[in-house]
Structure 1
Amino acid sequence: MTELISNSFVLPIRVYIEDTDAGGIVFHANYLNYMERARTEWLRSHGIGLRAGLVDNVNYVVQGMELYYRAPAKLDDMLEVRAVPISFGRVWMKLREQVVRQCDQTLLCEASVTVACVTMDTGRLQRLPANMTSLLEQQVQ
């Protein structure tokens, strides 16, 4: 079993009926939504709002993802979605993310996510903004 991420941003999420299939198991694509929320809230917790970036013609897109499902989340579970940046370059950042069942700390899903910085108008790669680079320099170990 993979180690749980420590020293990460944690977003609590409850599993609702809308997240599950007919058997009460979280539909696989919803883990992507949970991880997207965690990445967005991690940025917001550091004062970086995505809406402000849109005004400056900056957007972030998932460029690549490796995803591993370990165990199912179920209706009414309380989850912790963990996110931590692990590397970055001029135009991209890579994060490690995990979805963990809160009550027993069971790892349910984990991913390596590469996010690229692009311009809103053309979709071309562009340099990460200074505030993002500064945050990543502080966070990546």
Structure 2
Amino acid sequence: MSFEHKIRVYYEDTDAGGIVYYANYLKFMERARTEWLRAMGTEQDILLEHSVGFVVKRVEMDNHAPARFNELLSIQTEIVELKRASLVFKQIIISPANKPLVSALIRVACVNILNMKPQAIPEKILGEFSRVI
């Protein structure tokens, strides 16, 4: 099941030519994953209170076409792999003309933030993730 989040491209997101600087796509995707988690009923600040965090372990990103200043982009997010302590998201950034601009596979690991060691995804959250795969 795919989750959609919209993001407006601000001037600060662009380079001198008004095109989104490539690293900012990673920020857009991070925001979309956070909003996806929130839509599922999980707030990251509550997880942090329990020493649970999610960290990006790997990113494979392909840039297909540029996004430009003031465009309203759609970011589609879905889980394509779920393990006990990690998951892989597929994210696609779509233009207002419905063209794919950027696609990425992002592996995220669950860690104990006190020692930064991998840990199992809490059962309640794992159940919610399993429900949407």
TM-score range, shorter chain: over 0.9
Q: Which residue, out of 13, 38, 43, partners 1:44?
A: 38
Structure 2 unaligned blocks of 5 or more: none
Look up the equivalent residue of 2:28 and give its one-letter code: Y
Match of 2:73 in 1: 79
Residue 135 of structure 1 and its aligned partner are, at CA, apart by: 1.2
Q: Which residue, out of 97, 101, 109, partners 1:108?
A: 101
Deviations 1:68-96 (A, max 9, x none): 00000001111001101111111001110
Provide TM-score, normalisation by structure 2. 0.98
Provide TM-score, normalisation by structure 1. 0.92
Q: Which residue, out of 119, 124, 127, partners 1:131?
A: 124
Q: Sequence identity, in percent?
A: 36
Query: Number of paired residues?
Result: 133
Match of 1:98 in 2: 92
Structure 1 unaligned blocks of 5 or more: 1-6
Tell me, in whole angstroms, the C-alpha distance in 2 between the residues paired with 1:114 and 1:125.
13
For the residue of structure 1 that corresponds to 2:81, the secondary structure is: strand
Tell me, in whole angstroms, the C-alpha distance in 2 between the residues paired with 1:86 and 1:136.
10
Deviations 1:44-81 (A, max 9, x none): 00101100000001010001110000000001111001
Q: For the aligned residues, what is the CA RMSD?
A: 0.7
